[in-house]
Amino acid sequence: MFEPERHVAPAYRAWDAAEARAAIAEIADDALAALDPATLWQTHPQDNVEGGTGSIYFGAAGVIWAIDRLRRVGAIAVDRDLASLVPTVLARNAPWYAQTMYPEHGSLLMGELGIRLVEMRLAPSAALADRIHGLATASNDLPTVELMWGLPGAMLACLHMQGLTGEARFVALFQTQAARLLSELEHTDRGPIWTQHLYGKQQRWLGPVHGFAGHMAPLLRGWAWLVASQRALVGDTAARALAAYAVRSELGANWPHAADQPAKLCQHCHGAAGMVTTFADAPFSAPEFDALLVEGGNLVWHAGPLAKGSNLCHGTGGNGYAFLKLHRRTGDARWLERARAFAMATIDQMREARATYGRGRYSLWTGDPGLALYLWDCITAEPAFPTIDIF
């Protein structure tokens, strides 16, 4: 059901909201202290990116967005001009991104599209909205890929931009892209699925970063912009796929990273946690569908905290979002208790990692700022997965 060596024995402590707030402040203060306006933040050894990036995923844009988000929700008090950093972020990301496999894609998590969204949040302008619209539109003529690099990420950008600007053109672009995405859905003997042409390979991935759940995320979040037939297709596809690819046991349910592979991982990016976090927001319900989500949450709990640390993508904080989403969907208090148990474990993991490396990890999806946002959502019990659910 999962590989135990990827997890650590839980050492849960009682929930302490004051300690969670202190950890958030600690993370923000450390990130701001480590900021060099000329070079931004040093890449963490665990991220293994020589020279660093400006990306949302594990670069400077994500850190800036996290600090601003924490400031906007009242979690921290920061008087810092973050918008002035964006030109440096763009300059730092450009040479790195040009060497990736997808230099023509805007890319929500890795490329200019995501960075420009951060800029739009900090210093909005009509010209910037035009640039973002152009970057998102370019995805129409490029390979779909997946959420990190391609079309589903552009669709999320449209959702975020409509929220920031109210402009109808982002709704229209989303609808064009949704039609294309649904036209590429494959109806196999086992169940509905998309094939990702990713990193030179063809694979039917399932998770929310590279696979099926990532394709479904913008369709679920943009539900109001779909026509009735599309809603029916999305609802039916979600229910059938979750059931078709689930691996069930007395511990709960897990999903493999790819349709033809065994279920080994239990993380946000691959496995039960990310599937639950994505589909617990579905604007529809059915007994079997909801039962599978609960079984997925149980598997995440039985697996325990992740050995890779406190981060969102493949760490304990990301897995904790599955509990927060189930709490909101079901109203069952045990899910909030489990989320907060994971939160206390993540604080310990973060501090252990800092002691080991002598520094923080300045990254949204793989580092401390993402953890700070998870801790805040545990305090408020109002989950919003960073840069996917909100921007």
DSSP sequence for 85-135: GHHHHHHHHHHHHHTSS-TTS--TTTSHHHHHHHHHHHS--HHHHHHHHHH
Phi, psi of 153 (to 5 degrees): -65, -40
Cα(391)–Cα(66) distance, integer angstroms? 10
Please give the pLDDT value at position 50.
78
Distance CA 329, CA 332 (A): 8
pLDDT for the residue numbered 52:
80
Task: State the burial class of residue 255 (Cβ atoms within 10 Å of its Cβ: 0-12, 13-18, 19+).
Answer: buried
Spatial CA neighbour of 296 closest among 315, 314, 278: 278
Binding site members for Zn(2+): 269, 313-314
pLDDT at 135: 99
* C-beta separation of 386 from 373 below 8 A: yes
Contact partners, residue 274, CB within 8 Å, separation at least 6: 207, 208, 209, 213, 267, 268, 318, 322
Q: What is the pLDDT along the chain (391 residues), one digit of tens a residue?
A: 999 999 999 989 999 999 999 999 999 999 999 999 999 999 999 998 877 899 999 999 999 999 999 999 999 999 999 999 999 999 999 999 999 999 999 999 999 999 999 999 999 999 999 999 999 999 999 999 999 999 999 999 999 999 999 999 999 999 999 999 999 999 999 999 999 999 999 999 999 999 999 999 999 999 999 999 999 999 999 999 999 999 999 999 999 999 999 999 999 999 999 999 999 999 999 999 999 999 999 999 999 999 999 999 999 999 999 999 999 999 999 999 999 999 999 999 999 999 999 999 999 999 999 999 999 999 999 999 999 999 9
Strands 252-254 and 247-249: antiparallel
* Tokens, residue 300: 């995440």
Classified as helix, coil or strand, 258 is strand
Are 363 and 47 in contact, with CB atoms under 8 Å apart? yes
For residue 277, the surrounding DSSP H or E stretch is helix 272-279
What CA–CA distance (Å, rounded) separates 40 from 228? 47
Sequence-distant (≥ 6) Cβ neighbours of residue 117 within 8 angstroms: 56, 108, 132, 157, 160, 161, 391
Binding residues: 269, 313-314
